Amino acid sequence: MVVRAPASQQSPAQANERLLVGAAQKDPARFAELYEIHFERVYLFVVRRVGDRDVAEDLTSDVFHKALANIKQFEWRGVPFGAWLLRIAANAITDRGKRSGRELSFADPPEIAAQGDMEQIEEGAQLFRLVNDLPEDQKQVVVMRFAAQKSIREIAAEIGRTAGAVKQLQFRGLENLRARLGSGAKPQRTQRDTKGSKKTGVKNG
């Protein structure tokens, strides 16, 4: 038997998400708002399991296309909308593995994943958003250094700066992130979200 959570037991965030899902089911253009909220956690869920940024970006795009196509079939059954997206992501990873002739393994399905794993995804999503709020030069260095795993020398050559300047930008970027994480600052939406929406075919309404 499916257990449905009473509306009175929902958190404000869950109640708001339910309204957004309902709006998207009536008007697909409103799906962009759900994309904005869930992009980072879906992308991080995927990239942690496939280990390849290009593949992760393609799969994340596929996830949101499938979610948009099936949004009217989504029903509230005690599982958050975000977990539904992660289930689509898990299936997408499996399908990609079958097509490539190798099995891509991942942890338990989202709805039964360990709490610690889900917390790491959420923390990573918050950090992902905070990085996008950094000044452009700091963001560029932090992404190249820790996401692309490039060396200081490689980054310096690519952006036309000295190694010392790159180290300084990295230091300032990390200090900014620590300060924002420590203060509990809320990330601001940036142009990355708009670009991401375009990539998945979801347009802001």
What is the mean predicted confidence (pLDDT) over 133-144? 87
- pLDDT, tens digit (0-9, with 9 covering 90-100), for 106-119: 544 444 344 445 55
Residues 123/134, Cβ–Cβ less than 8 Å: no
Residues 72/25, Cβ–Cβ less than 8 Å: yes
The pLDDT value given to residue 49: 81
The pLDDT value given to residue 64: 95
Cα separation, 94 vs 181, in Å, equals: 34
What is the mean predicted confidence (pLDDT) over 176-194? 61
Residue 13: which pLDDT band, with cuts at 50, 70 and 90?
low
What is the mean predicted confidence (pLDDT) over 153-182? 89
Q: Where are the domains positioned within the chain?
A: 12-133+191-205, 134-186
Q: Which secondary structure element, helix H or strand E, spans residue 157, and what is its range?
A: helix 152-159
Residue 131: which pLDDT band, with cuts at 50, 70 and 90?
confident
Residue 164 has pLDDT above 70, yes or no: yes
Cα separation, 47 vs 60, in Å, equals: 9
Q: Tell which wins on pLDDT, 8 or 185.
A: 185
Residue 71 has pLDDT above 80, yes or no: yes
What is the mean predicted confidence (pLDDT) over 34-44? 86
Give every CB contact of residue 20 below 8 A, 6+ residues apart in sequence.
30, 33, 34, 37
Q: Tell which wins on pLDDT, 83 or 182.
A: 83
Percentage of the chain surpassing pLDDT 70? 67
CA-nearest of 145, 141, 186 to 160 is: 141
Give every CB contact of residue 22 below 8 A, 6+ residues apart in sequence.
none
Fold observed for domain 134-186: Arc Repressor Mutant, subunit A (1.10.10)
Residue 96 has pLDDT above 70, yes or no: yes
The pLDDT value given to residue 61: 93
Instruction: Please give the mean pLDDT across all residues of the chain.
Output: 75
